[in-house]
Amino acid sequence: MNVLILGSGGREHTFAWKLAQSKQLENLYIAPGNAGTAQCGTNVAISATDFDAIKNLVWEKSIDLVLVGPEDPLVKGVHDYFLQDEVLREIPVIGPKKDGAQLEGSKDFSKQFMFRHGVPTAKYKSFTKDNIHEGAAFIDSLEAPYVLKADGLAAGKGVLIINDKDEAKHELQNMILNAKFGEAGNTVVIEEFLKGIELSVFVLTDGNSYKILPSAKDYKRIGVGDTGLNTGGMGAVSPVPFADEAFIKKVEEKIVKPTINGLLKDGIDYRGFIFIGLMNCDGEPSVIEYNCRMGDPETEVVIPRIESDFLDLLQGVATQTLHKKQFSVTPDIATTVVLVSGGYPEDYEKNKVVTGLDAVKDSHIFHSGTAFKNEEVVTNGGRVFAVTSFGKTIEEAVAKSFAAAETVSYDGKYYRSDIGKDLMNWKG
């Protein structure tokens, strides 16, 4: 089979690395890819949202299956574009259509969906300029801290958690009337704050059946001890010690099944990944958010733990035969440590020459933001690499990731030295 992956980060490199191991794979293309994906297939310099260029590529390279990495092309309707085209119609796209992608593309949509289908989540109310005058009273009815979310995609920055009531009321005005997050904040969801420990559960579905992939925990903030600005993710661990079999069973019964059935009832034919951001509140799962794709860097620990042929699973999604597919996961623990550019998540420089990659033997280095310049690997993004390692314990795995992180070198390199620390010796 000829496969095309859309995207250019660590998630896409991990997909490419895993697909390259499949006996069923003939040719792999990644658009646009990075210096890492180029080791697994052929990079093509087109954007993941340039649908016309993607169409030409699919035609030219006789692509049999398209795997979409990021949310942007999905929310913009890449899958719908394929279905509306006479030539592309028959080529399966892994990733939901526009309607399903709204689970991530609109917080208001996803909250309504959860309430409609009985999926546990925080109490909420949505506001626009038409009912903004009711916002203050709703904030008054909640206990601090207050959670304000821009409805639309805001590159992970559209969520405010505010302790002060007056500040929360002010920010609501700021989001709706002063477009603090642009159009994404025309509608604002205000919700109850959930206390607990966060984790992510990933589901692959063909619209009828599903597989629950390994769970993971990511580390969102830039600084040690989970301090400082939010990032795309600074590291991840899979599995999550507090997400034992009994907890995952609860997630399956209370969240996964109602979600899959809810999509069916709503007439949404969803084929792809569902990333469920959860709070474990005293043993009870509650949904914080849905994403319509895999997480990054969670993919870098979740996918390497899957022992089954990943392309075979994707074909199961494409042909709605996922229930017949073999699926197994290693019990070993995977950790990933993300190496970023100095300054990230604020301004940072690119084009720093990277050395030491070949000296890493005990870990997988997934490229997040790299490019080739004069045949050398250079930095090309805020997050540069995700260094994934395996172990029987978190300590063992993460020690390998840190050793590799020290071996790789470029100007301005930074990583969090406490990935996994909170989960070591977990006793609940």
Residues in touch with ligand AMP (CB under 6 A): 122, 147, 149, 159, 191, 193-194, 198, 277, 288-289
- The CA distance from 141 to 137, in Å, is 6
12 binds, among ligand GLY, ligand AMP, none (CB under 5 to 8 A by kind): none
User: Which residues fall within 8 angstroms of residue 421, CB to CB, at 6 or more apart?
Assistant: none
Q: Which lies closer to ligand AMP via its Cβ, residue 18 or residue 149?
A: 149
Q: Which lies closer to ligand GLY via its Cβ, residue 206 or residue 296?
A: 296
**Residue 380 Cβ, how far from ligand AMP at the closest point, in Å?**
25
Q: Which of 57, 2, 4 is nearest to 30 (CA)?
A: 4
Q: Which lies closer to ligand GLY via its Cβ, residue 165 or residue 220?
A: 220
- The CA distance from 132 to 407, in Å, is 53
Based on the shown chain and the rule CB under 6 A, indicate whether residue 100 belongs to the binding site for ligand GLY. no
User: Which residues fall within 8 angstroms of residue 77, CB to CB, at 6 or more apart?
Assistant: 97, 98, 101
**Residue 304 Cβ, how far from ligand GLY at the closest point, in Å?**
16
Based on the shown chain and the rule CB under 6 A, indicate whether residue 12 belongs to the binding site for ligand GLY. no
65 binds, among ligand GLY, ligand AMP, none (CB under 5 to 8 A by kind): none
# residues near ligand GLY by CB under 6 A: 7
Is the CA virtual torsion 365, 368, 373, 375 positive or negative? positive
**Residue 233 Cβ, how far from ligand GLY at the closest point, in Å?**
3
Range 207-266, binding ligand GLY (CB under 6 A): 218, 232-233
Judged by CB under 6 A, the stretch of 35-43, 122-130, 294-302, 335-343 that binds ligand GLY is: 294-302
**Residue 184 Cβ, how far from ligand GLY at the closest point, in Å?**
15
Q: Are 196 and 252 in contact (CB under 8 A)?
A: no
Q: Determine whether 366 is exposed, middle or buried from the number of CB atoms within 10 Å of its CB (0-12, 13-18, 19+).
A: buried
- The CA distance from 360 to 339, in Å, is 14
* Cα dist from 26 to 64, 306, 346, whole Å: 10, 21, 40
Based on the shown chain and the rule CB under 6 A, indicate whether residue 295 belongs to the binding site for ligand GLY. yes
198 binds, among ligand GLY, ligand AMP, none (CB under 5 to 8 A by kind): ligand AMP
Based on the shown chain and the rule CB under 6 A, indicate whether residue 298 belongs to the binding site for ligand GLY. yes
Based on the shown chain and the rule CB under 6 A, indicate whether residue 296 belongs to the binding site for ligand GLY. yes
Give per-residue burial for 390-414: e unless 16+ CB within 10 Å, then b.
bbeebeebbbbbbebbebbebeebb
Is the bond preceding residue 145 a cis peptide, omega within 30 degrees? yes
